[in-house]
Structure 1
Amino acid sequence: MSGVVLSGATVAGQDFDAAKAEVRRAVEDFLAEVFIQQPDTEVVRAARYAVLGGGRRWRALVAVAAGRIFHHDALQLVLPAASGVELAHAASLVLDDLPSMDDASVRRGKPCTHRVFPAWAADMVPVFLVTLAYEISLDNPRVYAPARIKAALELSAAGLMMIRGQVHDMRQDRMAWQGKSSGWCSATG
């Protein structure tokens, strides 16, 4: 574990707050550049709104810290994959906020994506973000191809877990409602 001290307040010899700020800034800049390269469509504008200017970027920080275990200059090496993880996370938040799910109003201190953009665009944002996450994670010639494939498999596994979790949440809500309804029916019965 050379370079990473988990028990202290340093990451690769760097103050934790400074490392966190560096990664957050790098991810935000990287993702801003990724969005600039996309066509200017309603879906891309909605995705950009959902991703940029918010979030603590903890997942990216963990990815970079893990990369620094093996490579001193991990930030630039791991940045595409770390940013891909952030895109996938943002996709899960947009999905969770949709009217068919939690129908949230506010996310990260601003109106949820589906409250600002047309429903059809907000519905497409999670698919767009996950697809973009794969693209930027896999299109990194600085990383050995088998490692990119492994990262894609991990991203896929995380996506499947996210979907299972969302299904579980929705079933729990439905079961709670069914329980309440059957309770009311038997109470009036």
Structure 2
Amino acid sequence: MMLTTAAAAATRPSTPRLLDLSPSPQRHTSRQIETPPSRRGVTFTTETTYTFHVAHGGSAVPNRSGPPIGLAKSHFHVACAAIRPDRRRHRRAVQKFDPSERVALLKAAAYNESEIAAFCVDAFVVRKSRQDEAIDFMEERVRQKKRRAVRMLVKISGEVSDQGSTDDMGSTSKRQCVAVQGC
């Protein structure tokens, strides 16, 4: 007589099946395989250099004095070259010019003296505006810090008065001394 699988399962003793969870040479987990981290990057094979004439640069206001200089609206020369992988590239800093050099560059770019003087006045107005804005910003930060300090003092003084007054001997458990200069 042949038993079905359900009947055979019912006649066998109920012992749990054990699974072999030990690592085998064929099975790998992500912890067992260590791969070096890949370096991601972008490489370029060509470089394109655009050459511009010198012109008035309204947004490039110098820190001290003199007219701002910048680039002309359009380039006059384009050069493409292959980038050799063995050649190391160094970043170059922005070239700085003193006021007399900037005036000479603008004169060479066919600007007359009255235009250059107007550029200098405009640059002065922009510098002054930026300085005023920086001063206003710093003064506002100081006012905010003073307001925060006053709020903390009010909060602390409220907590001290809530703790009760002195004990029988006339001393306090906590003493606080805070000085705040006027806002």
- What range is the shorter-chain TM-score in? 0.3 to 0.5
- Scaled by the length of structure 2, the TM-score of the pair is 0.34
Larger proportion of strand: 2
| Structure with the higher fraction of residues in helix conformation | 1
